[in-house]
Amino acid sequence: MSRRPAPMGEYEDRRNARIRQLREQREGPMRRRRRVQPLLIVMWIAGSIALLGVLLVVGFNIFFAPRVMAWVEGNPGAIEHGIVQDFVQWYRPEVLADEPASEEQRRVSVDVETGATDTGIGRLLFEQGLIRSEVAFQYAVITAGREGTLAAGTYDLSPTLRPSEIVAALRGEFFGATTMVTLREGLRLEEVVATFGQSNMTFNLEEFAALLQAPPAELLNEFDFLADLPEGRSLEGYIPPETLDYEITGPRSKPLEIVRKLLGQLGTLLTPEIRQAIAAKGLSIDEAVIIASIVEREAVIDEERPLIAAVYIKRFQEPDNAQTAGLLNADPTLQYGLTTGEVRPEGHPLLANTEGALLPVDDWGSIDWWPQLQVGGGDVALEEYLLGFQTYTQAGLPPMPIAAPRIESIAAVANAPTDEGYLFFVAGCPGGTRDGSHYFSRTNAEHEALVAQAREECAGQ
């Protein structure tokens, strides 16, 4: 059975539909490729730019920046330029930190010569270990606005100081920082100097020591209690054992100002009442200070200070007493003379018109200035120029104080009960314990008995 041919219109419709289908199949991928291709290009370009940026940053940090930083460190003065500061603050901000070189508390004496540049000073400080970065020092100079104004001179600095503090020190300016210095009682002048040397103050220690050993007349004239001080004497005994605050650097941290502050403190402590009591004892202030310095080294118990002072005053003021013959018999004066003779055998640095070499001030803190006596007091041999400190054979007071007495010891001299008549004392061990107390007596016989008692009590101590 034959099929009937489809109408011409239907045939055309099927043919056109097939053509459209084939065309869509052929053109579809092309259209998709046209949509995707620009996105790929954009992504490729962006990735290339990002990679180039990474390579540039890495290359700058690895190759270029270190070379720039090395150049800055070799030319620290370049930090004055803003672009250099910006670079360092971005790349190595820690280099500009206002931090000390170390926590090591030591004194470094630095001589800044006239005409020295800021860069040259920075190099000197770096070589001495006082700063960790020359760039940081130059930055501190610039920040403080002190370019070209740092003063020549000799400075005692410490690695514990910040660059900004060192800049202030080199300008003699106060930067707001203070330090507390405690002077213990019973120190020699050398020990006083050593105590300040262990602080972080920036004044020159040699100049300070020289002022204590040979104070100028204009300084002495400022303080009435120094009117009796023999010409050429040092300030031994007149530096009070006090705890005071001092500017680390600044106009009031100069050696002369420090000495003036210490003497002013003593003047405040020496009240009119104490001065009147000293005069009533028939003593000058200098004689009272000499006796008080011995009391300071002898006394352990505060209540005994006036009694010990009374013994020495009686012995000094009664040179014709048959029992004592004016001899103080004070062991501390022998210790003073022995150590002085060992460190300066050709002369005493604290007496007038003497010559000889003394150990450098940096060594003064390492010396045992008060060694125990190895022989009886009368057998201690001192240099001829120190015989005045041999109070077992030489009558009267030693030629000068031997240490810094606290005001309580000076007051003990002023108020000593001399009417008790005590001429002797010996350290005892009541109950078999050495507690620093003494036995006092009026006659040599009583004293000998107490010496025997003390020996028995203190056996094995």
Q: How confident is the model at residue 104 (pLDDT cuts 50, 70, 90)?
A: confident
CA distance 394 to 78: 69
Q: Which range is most confident: 2-6, 35-39, 133-137? A: 133-137
pLDDT of the residue at 409: 97
Do 206 and 233 contact (CB within 8 A), yes or no? no
| pLDDT score of 56 | 46
Q: Is the pLDDT of residue 28 over 60?
A: no
Domain for residue 82, yes or no?
A: no
- C-alpha dihedral over 427, 429, 435, 439, to 10 degrees? -40
pLDDT computed for residue 351 by the predictor: 39
Rounded to 10 degrees, the C-alpha dihedral 140/144/145/147 comes to -40
* pLDDT (mean) for 176-204: 91
Length of the chain: 461
Share of the chain above pLDDT 70, in %: 83
Domain count, the chain: 2
Residues 316 and 409 reside in one and the same domain: yes
Give mean pLDDT, residues 34-47. Answer: 59
Q: Is 301 left (phi over 0), alpha (psi -120 to 50) or beta?
A: beta
The CA distance from 203 to 252, in Å, is 10
What is the per-residue pLDDT across 157-177, written as a single tens digit (0 to 9) for each? 889 999 998 998 888 787 778
- Contact, 80 vs 147, CB < 8 A? yes
Give the separation between CA 443 and CA 423, rounded to whole angstroms: 7
**CA separation for the pair 461, 457 (Å, rounded):** 9
HSE of 236, CA atoms in CB hemisphere, 13 A: 26
Residue 401 and residue 345 share a domain: yes
Residue 354 has pLDDT above 80, yes or no: no
Instruction: Identify whether residues 392 and 461 lie together within a single domain.
Output: no
Tokens coding 35: 């949509």
Quote the CA–CA distance of 157 and 122 in Å, as a whole number.
Answer: 13
**Same structural domain for residues 381 and 356?**
yes
Among 53-62, 75-84, 432-441, the range scoring the smallest mean pLDDT is: 53-62
pLDDT at position 65: 73
- pLDDT of amino acid 55: 43
What integer is the mean pLDDT of 394-402?
96
The residue segments making up the domain with residue 441 are 423-461
Tokens of 324: 């004592």
Query: What global pTM score does this model have?
Result: 0.78
Average pLDDT, the chain: 86
Burial 105-142 (b: 16+ CB within 10 A, else e): eebeebebeeebebbebbbbbbeeebbbbbbbbbbbbb
Within-domain flag for 334? yes
Same domain, 430 and 359: no
Residue 340 and residue 432 in one domain: no
DSSP 3: P
Examine residue 14 and state whether it is found in any structural domain, yes or no.
no
CA-based radius of gyration for the chain: 42
Is 332 found in the same domain as 307? yes
pLDDT band at 353 (very low <50, low <70, confident <90, very high): very low
- C-alpha triplet 361, 364, 367: angle, nearest 5°: 160
With CA atoms as reference, report the closest residue to 230 among 209, 211, 210, 214. 214
My answer on whether 345 and 301 are in the same domain is yes
Residues 410 and 430 in one domain: no
> pLDDT-based confidence at 273, cuts 50/70/90?
very high
Q: Are residues 393 and 324 in the same domain?
A: yes
**Structural domain includes residue 248:** no
**pLDDT of 446 above 80:** yes
Q: Among 6-15, 181-190, 306-315, name the one with the lowest average pLDDT.
A: 6-15
State how far the Cα of 281 lies from the Cα of 285, in Å rounded to an integer: 11
Residue 219 pLDDT class (50, 70, 90 cuts):
very high
DSSP 98: -
Do 321 and 407 belong to one domain?
yes
137 belongs to a structural domain: no
* CB-based burial label for 209 (10 Å; 0-12, 13-18, 19+): buried
Whether 356 shows a pLDDT value over 70: the answer reads no
Residue 363 pLDDT class (50, 70, 90 cuts): confident
Mean pLDDT of 132-159: 89
401 shares a domain with 298: yes
Mean pLDDT of all residues in 212-235: 93
Residue 161 lies in a domain: no
Flag whether 455 is in a domain: yes
Task: Give the confidence band of 95 by pLDDT, cuts at 50, 70, 90.
Answer: confident
What DSSP character marks residue 214? S
Residue 238 falls inside a structural domain: no
